[in-house]
DNA sequence: TATAAAACTGACTAATAGTCACTTTTTGAC
DNA sequence: GTCAAAAAGTGACTATTAGTCAGTTTTATA
């Protein structure tokens, strides 16, 4: 009997309805300014039910981080040029990331809350672990492209794929300035990417 | 009569006593778990007086960010090798940043709360603007060293100092992974720095 | 010494995260 | 169909706490 499976599907579906509501509320008023009652109202559920699906407000927030990462992965993958060098694929990912950020500022912003909320939802949180998985997936993609680049001669042989993947992904993330300097943020990012690409490129 | 000046000094001194207390409380229990009453108690003041010096909890937090940045600058400057190329100075700064992070995890952590709290204390906040100034100062340092590096031949002529400074500083910041991957964070950072340095280096 | 300004106080209010005893719905065995 | 148990849902309630404010004390100055 498929009841258990259906129940599981229905549960995930409810989780998503709640996350839809949470996004609606958080994105329009900001996380700190939004209440669980607001989310419950938007989800057409009672507050108590919210806590049946999410441990607390932090976990709700991490749930949105997970969605954000999944959307970002779509951008990264769509931006990948076909039939090109590993180095170009990494460059493509960097462009995809920027486009993701520009077209989805709220989701990008949600990502930045990751550190602030991950602590509050416990290491056993399903939503936290989903997010961590997505991040590992992205890291794995970068690593794969670094390896390709070394094979196809577009990236220096001296580069260590695993370490480079961590570094590159971290740099892409950090290269969007936290403090607003007087420069255009997209331009700053593109320049940072250029520097990284030059560091990888075979002479 | 120097009364006004003395008063101003005393005010700053009180601010610092309050920030001492806030650090004590926030660093031992975490920002979200700490209350303004805790801080008031630690500062041996009433809660009302706290609000005489800081607009709100967020501004208190940004006050700590400012201290954190000032301490970081000390690390950056101490780590600068004497009589060396611009490129090596940038490398030195990167090492200083890592040491700062390792020796002052709480201050580093406070920095990461910047984005989360800066919004909550208004653009006119004295403490926010102090933090922004410190960050600009660091950016300026990097820019200076890039220029030196171009002059002394350690950095490619094609590098644009202002843009590169933004990129490098952002990358240093971001290169410390937000998500905990399975790698050693210091090692990941050092590799990221290596990549950046290679991207700058004259062939 | 009088007055005004600045600093300080802590009881109070308003807001809200999270709980829990209870109700309703769903499920599957008979 | 019936029933008991499990799951889902409810919303009034509690406990906590950020921020306020009317009143007090201290300090500066004329």
Secondary structure of residue A151 in the 3-state scheme: helix
- Residue A63 CA, chain-centre distance (Å), reads 11
Give nearest nucleotide to B48 (CA–C1'): C9
Distance CA B107 to C1' D26 in A:
36
| Cβ-defined contact of B195 to A168 (cutoff 8 Å) | yes
pLDDT at A10: 93
Secondary structure of residue B155 in the 3-state scheme: strand
Interface residue A176 vs chain B (CB under 8 A): yes
Are B76 and B100 in contact by the 8 Å Cβ rule? The answer is yes
Q: What angle do CA A188, B169, A96 make, to 5 degrees?
A: 40
Note the strand D nucleotides within 7 A of protein beta carbons. 7-12, 16-22, 28-29
Query: For residue A176, what pLDDT band results from cuts at 50, 70 and 90?
Result: low
Which strand (E) or helix (H) includes residue A5?
A: helix A3-29
Distance (Å, whole) CA A74 – CA A190? 20
Phi then psi for residue A37, to 5 deg, are -65, -40
* Chain B residues in contact with A160 (beta carbon < 8 A): 191
Segment B83-125, tens digit of pLDDT = 999 999 999 999 999 999 999 999 999 998 888 899 899 999 9
Is residue B177 over pLDDT 70? no
* Average pLDDT value for residue range A132-150: 95
Q: What is the DSSP letter of B81?
A: P
Are A71 and A119 in contact by the 8 Å Cβ rule? The answer is no
B165-184: buried (b, 16+ CB within 10 Å) or exposed (e) per residue? Answer: bbbbbbbbbbbbbbbebebe
How many alpha carbons fall within 13 Å on the CB side of residue B171?
Answer: 38
The structure tokens 């805790």 sit at: B38
Stretch 149-168 of chain B: residues touching chain A, C-beta under 8 Å: 159-160, 162-164, 166-168
Which region holds residue B77: left if phi is over 0, alpha if psi is between -120 and 50, else beta? alpha
Stretch 3-32 of chain A: residues touching chain B, C-beta under 8 Å: 30, 32
Distance (Å, whole) CA A154 – CA B13? 57
| Cβ-defined contact of A167 to B191 (cutoff 8 Å) | yes
Give nearest nucleotide to B50 (CA–C1'): C8
- Residue B32 CA, chain-centre distance (Å), reads 21
Segment B116-158, tens digit of pLDDT = 899 899 999 999 999 999 999 999 999 999 999 999 999 999 9
Note the strand C nucleotides within 7 A of protein beta carbons. 6-11, 15-21, 27-28
Distance CA B4 to C1' D27 in A:
12
Phi then psi for residue B34, to 5 deg, are -100, 145
Give nearest nucleotide to B3 (CA–C1'): D28
Are A54 and A18 in contact by the 8 Å Cβ rule? The answer is yes
Are A162 and A118 in contact by the 8 Å Cβ rule? The answer is no
* Average pLDDT value for residue range A130-134: 94
Closest Cβ opposite residue B132 in set A179, A196, A199: A179
Helix axes A105-112, A3-29, angle to 10 degrees: 100
* Chain A residues in contact with B203 (beta carbon < 8 A): 203
pTM: 0.91
């Amino acid at each position: 009997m498929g009841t258990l499976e259906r129940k599981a599907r229905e549960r995930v579906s409810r989780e998503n309805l709640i996350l839809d509501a949470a996004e609606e509320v958080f994105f329009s008023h900001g996380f700190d300014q939004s209440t669980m009652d607001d989310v419950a109202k938007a989800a057409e559920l009672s507050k108590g039910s919210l806590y049946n699906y999410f441990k607390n407000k932090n976990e709700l927030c991490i749930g949105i981080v997970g969605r954000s990462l999944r959307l970002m992965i779509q951008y990264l993958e769509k931006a990948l040029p076909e039939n090109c060098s590993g180095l170009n694929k990494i460059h493509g990912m960097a462009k995809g990331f920027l486009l993701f950020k520009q077209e989805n500022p709220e989701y990008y912003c949600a990502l930045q809350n990751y550190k602030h909320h991950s602590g509050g939802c416990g290491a056993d949180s399903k939503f936290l672990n989903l997010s961590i998985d997505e991040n590992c997936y992205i890291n794995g993609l970068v690593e794969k492209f670094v390896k390709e680049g070394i094979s196809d001669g577009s990236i220096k042989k001296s580069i260590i794929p695993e370490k480079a993947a961590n570094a590159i992904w971290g740099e892409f993330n950090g290269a969007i300035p936290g403090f607003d300097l007087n420069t255009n943020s997209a331009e700053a990012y593109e320049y940072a990417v250029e520097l990284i690409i030059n560091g990888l490129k075979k002479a």
